[in-house]
Structure 1
Amino acid sequence: MGARRDRLTVRDRSAAIGLTVAFHILILMALLWLTPDILPFRDKEISLSTFNLPAEKSGEQNAAQKNQSKEEKRQAQRQEANPRPTPPIPAEQPVTPPPKVAAPSMIYLSPEEFAASDIGKIKGKRSNGDDNGQDSASVYGPGEGPGGAQLYNAQWYREPTSTELAGYLPAAMPRNGYGLIACQTIENFHVDHCQVLGESPLGSGLGRAVRRAAWQFRVIPPRVNGRPQIGTWVRIRIDYIEGVQRLN
């Protein structure tokens, strides 16, 4: 009887402990159910935000930036204190028109007069010396040229045309007259350093007209011992008779 009672007592105690534990578990579950925010049993969506943090700058970089900022401030202050001068705007120079060159006086001839003045049809007087190697024998005066130079009569290599001469004639040209000049022979049958020796009528301007047209003249240099003497002086005379030029 005593052993049976002991088994019942142990059995009763175990049942009581089990009931107590189950009761506590039920109470704990009820508390958790009534207060769900204490321990989150449900999964919640969590949003993540990312951002970059600047790296910590070293002390040398910070000092360099500070020095650069100070230098920029100093330069700005210097520029404000000493502003750059504005370069002066150059004044516009007045345009000087080129000087007017007076056109040479022209003489208008009728077609008949112009045809009659064609000096290409007129044979000029030539010296005894020609292009066959003979000496130039016709000499104008003993030392009558510039500086006492001896003058030879000009021998034309090509006679000038009336058009070449007419452009230099004076407007108040006399009906008859002549112009006499002395020129120095140069290369290619040209003449240079021409000077007026005389003219008629005096003051008519015919001598100057011949001298101004002389740059177009082509003259054979005088010959001495069969050789052309380039640099010697020749006399050139052109006669004007009622619009006709005669070469001498």
Structure 2
Amino acid sequence: MSEAAIGRKRGADALRVTPRRRLTGLVAALLFEALVVLALLTLGTRRTVPMAEDRPLSTFDVTEPEAEPTDVQKPEPARQAKKETSTTPPLPTPVAVTPPPPATVKVPEPVVKLPSPVVTLPADQMASADLRNFPPAKPRGPAGPPAPRGEADSEVVGRAPNGERLYAAAWLREPYDSELRGYLSTADPGWALIACKTVPDYKVDDCVALDEWPNGSRLARAVLAAAWQFKVKPPRVGGSYKVGEWVRIRIDYGIKGRG
């Protein structure tokens, strides 16, 4: 037999399980299981020692007590009392309650009788004091400042819209171009006549249009809108200015002269 065949035979014999080997493994497995069961049983049989209910618990400190210093003086009673009183919390501050003010009683003022303002006159004085015996006062028209001496009265140039006399106007100050430019810019060049009533402070009011040239130039309407800025003297009548009289004003636009 060759060496290779001999080696294969030995390997097969080594792998073959004999009854002896089987018995040995079975005994070892049963022994291991018995040990495990015994260990589990011994865990449940451990007894605990109960604590005595009547035995008190005591604690102690193993550190040595410090010796009290001999040179330290005990606090005096006064200082100790002062220390105890300082720790006492302060009492709350009482809140001052202000009483309500007393009710005031209004006393009515005494009624004082004044003497009668009626004065009794004799019969002859009563007759002389009758207002019906005085002559009626003469009506006066609105007056202005006195006219300078030597100047003639204003010229009458027609009739006002209400039928009164219409005087030629005299400028106190001719209107500036800046005052008329915005109003006359909406009209065509030409001239316009208006009639106004004089009022205090050399102003005019209640103005009405009289005439314009050319017709349809809308110049009279523009002059009426700008008349609130005019400064005109009242007409002179009887040597003095008469405020409230009517005057005629002419404005030229785009042609030579203005008056």
The TM-score with structure 2 as length reference comes to 0.42
